[in-house]
Amino acid sequence: MVKIKNTLKSALMPAAAIGTLLFATNCKEKNTVVSKDDLLAGDWKLVEENGTRMDVVPYTSYTYLWTFAKTGDFNYCYESSNYPANNACYTAKWTWADVDKTNINIDFAPLNATMDFKVDVLDGDNLNGTKTTNYSYYGNTYSYTDVLKFSKIK
């Protein structure tokens, strides 16, 4: 009886060790590849403009939001609890302007305006880059550039 127990014990111990090792190996975090479309999709709050943090700008109480949908829809909204009559949202269409997905074109067709956004950082939490806005107003064309940093709203 003792010999059977020892034989059974010596056979089961390595099997248990292998089972534990296989289970622990399967518990490791898997490296999943997330597409830039997935990273971009969602709501983004402007946290810095041209080096100035938005939470310390004394003259504005506005919150600026960009929303990218995987369908190509885009919303640009700004809102203020101090000036609710000035709250507004604009809709547009966005597309990647290049195959490397480092430049975004946003077209506000009815407003005769476009924004080109060169992406410097895009991860699950941050969207940083340079935005160039082009628009026509009474026959004149205007353009200006801003360096922007966004934080993803979760």
**Which tens digit of pLDDT belongs to each residue from 14-72?**
555 555 444 444 555 566 778 999 999 999 999 999 998 888 766 667 899 999 999 99
CATH homologous superfamily of 36-152: Calycin beta-barrel core domain (2.40.128.20)
What are the CA-CA distances from residue 61 to residues 22, 55, 86, 88 (Å)?
Answer: 55, 9, 11, 14
> What pLDDT does 58 receive?
63
b vs e for 105-121, b when ≥16 Cβ sit within 10 Å of the residue's Cβ? Answer: ebbbeeeebbbbbbbee
For tokens 């089972």, what's the residue?
19
Model confidence at 151: pLDDT above 50 = yes
Radius of gyration of the chain (CA): 26
**Residue 59: half-sphere exposure toward Cβ, Cα within 13 Å:** 1
Return d(Cα 38, Cα 68) in angstroms, integer.
Answer: 10
Longest dimension (CA), the chain: 100
> What pLDDT does 22 receive?
46
Please give the full DSSP string across 10-58, using - where no structure is assigned: HHHHHHHHHHHHHHHHHTSPP-----HHHHH-EEEEEEEETTEEGGG-T
Q: pTM of the entire structure?
A: 0.75
Kindly report, residue by residue over 123-139, the tens digit of the pLDDT: 989 999 999 999 998 98
Return d(Cα 103, Cα 132) in angstroms, integer.
Answer: 11
Q: Would you say 147 and 49 are in contact if contact means Cβ atoms under 8 Å apart? A: yes
Kindly report, residue by residue over 66-109, the tens digit of the pLDDT: 999 999 999 999 998 888 888 999 999 999 999 999 999 999 98
